[in-house]
Amino acid sequence: MSSTFTLDSATSRANPVSAPLKRLTVPAIRARKNAGATAEPLVMLTAYTVRMAQLLDPHCDILLVGDSLGQVIYGLPSTLPVTLDMMCAHGAAVVRGSWHSVVIVDMPFGSYEGSPEQAFASASRVMAETGCAGVKLEGGTAMAPTIEFLSKRGIPVMAHVGLTPQAVNQLGGYAARGRTQEEHARILDDAKAVAAAGAFGVVVEGVVETIADAATAELDIPVIGIGASAKCDGQVLVAEDMLGLFERTPRFVKRYADMAGFVEDAVKAYADEVKSRAFPGEAQVYKPKP
């Protein structure tokens, strides 16, 4: 699948045009799982900016504007300080930079846990200001009433169970979940509860493989894995992790490139040429008209 772009002559930046593709929808994503199986796994990556959305969009079914932008973009220690203002700004950018993928925006910590009414106020603001197709929120059984409340009011919800980063203080860290029988059963119950409440899909993160396999087999909605199982209905990663932009990546991430090394090499070459006065050259300077 190829991208089609127009060139903004004022900025020399590429802008996507919608001619070749029609944007996917939440019902289309939900329908990819039929009779308990997904013939073609769903491809999902995070995106936080227009340009990254442009590059990822032709290859993805879902673009997630994750609250992981707190660490990736803002250098915060966790996702907890992320605000609705941040999510709305980046969500709108990703929608502008895409035309094929379903765009889902994370609900940040503190914006939905108080009550279903609080969640609706936050989610409706996110959808109105970004143009996204739905929101994602963390939590299982405890959040099922909120998911049902939102779904019945026209807001598509993707759930998130297992290792939930917004609960890192309660969990005591980012270790894989479900190593005990008790926790195994609880995570499966969470997954079933959010599906029953009306979630159109669920992210299962950082769990032992057997939990992800069981959830995928037992739920009739798509299960998106991250640090879970190849048998899931789809996969999601933080794009900057799989592109190799950070020195350290989680164990479950496969690095498909070394973008950090590429950037460092390019910047070093630029710095060397500036210091030697090789840049700018004849091709980069303006001469007076004859």
The domain total for the chain is 1
Please provide the size of the chain in residues.
290
In a domain, 90, yes or no: yes
In a domain, 289, yes or no: no
In a domain, 27, yes or no: yes
List, for residues 243-288, the tens digit of each pLDDT value: 999 988 889 999 999 999 999 999 999 999 999 999 999 999 999 9
Backbone angles phi, psi at 9, to 5 degrees: -65, -20
User: What is the CATH number for 277?
Assistant: 3.20.20.60
Active site residues: 205
In a domain, 290, yes or no: no
- Quickly tell me which residue has 């959040």 as its tokens: 143
In a domain, 100, yes or no: yes
In this predicted structure, what is the pLDDT of residue 2? 39
Quote the domain boundaries for residue 65: 5-284
List, for residues 218-245, the tens digit of each pLDDT value: 999 999 999 999 999 999 999 999 999 9
In a domain, 271, yes or no: yes
| pLDDT under 50: residue ranges of the chain | 1-3, 18
Whole-model pTM: value is 0.91
What does the angle CA 256 – CA 79 – CA 193 come to, to the nearest 5 degrees? Answer: 90
Backbone angles phi, psi at 124, to 5 degrees: -65, -35
